[in-house]
Amino acid sequence: MLQDLKGKKVLLAITGSIAAYKSAALCRSLVKSGADVKVIMTPSATKFISALTMATLSKHDVHTEVVSNESWNNHV
């Protein structure tokens, strides 16, 4: 088990690789150790593990796109 991570913030970035499936266990361990885990995934990563799975484990929404169509972006 990981050391006590209470109060720590972790950004878990997942890319499209066969090793992406291991990120679920890592996320679970980080959360269990007290870390606040937020997840970002490339679209390719979602072919190996679902964003819903990672959202459930991290208890946060998962971002899979650089630009959100649901919010205003301050650039051209």
Please check whether residue 28 lies inside any domain of the structure.
yes
Report residue 2's pLDDT band, with 50, 70 and 90 as the boundaries.
low
- The number of folded domains in the chain is 1
In whole angstroms, give the CA distance from residue 55 to residue 38. 8
Note if the pTM is more than 0.75: yes
Q: Is residue 70 one of the residues assigned to a domain?
A: no
Residue 32 lies in a domain: yes
44 assigned to some structural domain:
yes
Q: What is the DSSP letter of 41?
A: E
In a domain, 14, yes or no: yes
Contacts of 12 (CB under 8 A, 6+ apart): 23, 26, 27, 30, 37, 38, 39, 40, 54, 58
User: How does pLDDT run across 11-50, given as a tens digit for each residue?
Assistant: 999 999 999 999 999 999 999 999 999 999 999 999 999 9
Q: Is residue 64 part of a domain?
A: no
Q: Is residue 52 part of a domain?
A: yes
